[in-house]
Structure 1
């Protein structure tokens, strides 16, 4: 699926844009399911275990930031990551044994849909090594006005910046941090069916959606199975207990088998503590901790 040049680019820069990552039939089915899920939010009045609502959400005008865990809302999302071109890309970059950390269907609403402040995913869930990544599959065309993903190339090989604000883990860096070089950011636009890949340690964010349509991106966050979690901000796994965790781990296995010998790597780590007042989503974490915005005028 990937050329040697693409693999080398990802290793050097920490991100990749993969064209036509799904077939037209797969894309059509994904859109159908996605719009059905959005339509199902019409009678929801506050964020819950399925939906994160955006400001101004009504039954006549559904406005969401995301649908949570779409692979648990419709089995097709799970089938896609396990048996498609996405699976090929995943194993080529992370190896034969991989598992899913989480999935999310970001549906950034039009006319000012919420920004995601600059951060490194690694700050949220450090592990024994950094063989982790995120896929962002575009379900509609993503242009500059939609608030596309932005990344800063090469930062996946640098330090973990502070994600603290007001004494909390805020899930966002301080835009005044001297190590934050926003002028080096690359904007990742593309056509429906294209997919971004970004390394767990790369700095990234996205501006508000100022267009007149939703920005629909399906995200999968994945790990090599020998990358064992140290701590996860707001993570459910610590409350499961040993047996339920084992069952859950097997349920999240995408390819291969669980690896019981963690691979230890010399990688920088900061613990995502103390937790923000509200850790229900990255949006709530950043807002409730009072993270400073890099996108406000």
Structure 2
């Protein structure tokens, strides 16, 4: 799927945009399922295991920040991860054995849908090595005004900046950090069916959606199978116990086989502790942890 030039660009810059990674049928089915999930949220009055509600959500005007774990909500999302161009890109970059960390569908409502402050995914879930990445599959066209993802090229090879504020892990960097260089940011826009890829250590964020259109992006966060999570990060897997963890690992294997010999590399690790008052989502974490906004 990827050319040698695309692979080299990802290695150097830490991100890619790849066009037409799903079929028109897969795209249409995901759009329809997503519309149905948003419609069903009209009956929800507070965030739960499926929905993160945005400010102003109501039955008349559903406003979401996120649909949680979409690959567990409808088979089409899992199909796209395991049987599409997404899968080919995954294997091109991480090899044949890959594991899902998590999935989420950020819907970013129109007219001020919540920003995601600048951060590095790695700070949330350090592993034994950093062969980790995130896909952002565009379910609708994404343009400059509806809160596109922004990345800073090359930061995957640099330091992991502090994501702490007020003595807790707030899930965002301080925009006054001297190592933060927003003037180098690249905006990732594209047509529906395109996909962004970014390395887990790349600095990225997204501004509020000021358009009259929702910004719907399906995110899969993925690891090479020999990258194992370090105890202490925020993840449900630590509460499963050995038997349930093993069963869960089978469910999260995307391609190939689980790896029982973690590869240990000299990677920078600061544990995401102590937790913010509300760490049920990145939005709540950044808000309750007192993260300073780069978008005000």
TM-score by length of 2: 0.99
C-alpha separation between the residues in 1 aligned to 2:99 and 2:273?
25
Give the C-alpha shift of residue 231 in structure 1.
Answer: 3.5
| 2:136 counterpart residue number | 136
**Are the aligned partners of 1:156 and 1:200 in contact in 2 as well (CA < 8 Å)?**
yes
Q: 1:285 to 1:22 in 2, by over 3 A?
A: same
* Ranges in structure 2 where 5+ consecutive residues have no aligned partner: none
Secondary structure at the counterpart of residue 16 of structure 1: strand
Q: Which residue is equivalent to 1:20? A: 20
Alignment of 1:73-92 (within 5 A): 73-92=73-92
Counterparts of 1:111-190 in structure 2, within 5 Å, are 111-190=111-190
Q: Where has structure 1 moved over 2 Å in runs of 4 or more?
A: 231-234
- Superimposed CA distance per residue, residues 118-161 of structure 1 (whole angstroms, 9 cap, x where no aligned partner): 00000000000000000000000000000100000000000010
What are structure 1's unaligned runs of at least 5 residues? none
SS at match of 1:41: helix
Number of residue equivalences = 296
CA distance in 2, matches of 1:84, 1:201: 25
Q: Is the 8 A contact 2:150 2:187 kept in 1?
A: yes
Show the 5 A alignment for 1:249-288: 249-288=249-288
> Would you say the 8 A contact 1:125–1:231 is kept in 2?
no
Q: Determine if the alignment matches structure 1 residue 53 to structure 2 residue 53.
A: yes
Deviations 1:92-117 (A, max 9, x none): 10010001010001000000000000
The RMSD of aligned alpha carbons is 0.7
Partner of 1:103: 103
In 2, the alpha carbon distance for the partners of 1:25 and 1:120 equals 33
How far apart are the structure 2 equivalents of 1:117 and 1:204?
8
State the partner residue of 1:42. Answer: 42
Q: Compute the TM-score of the two structures, normalised by the length of structure 1.
A: 0.99
Cα distance in structure 2, aligned partners of 1:225 and 1:279: 26
Check 1:250–1:27 CA distance in 2 against 1; reply closer, same or farther (3 A cut): same
Partner of 1:68: 68
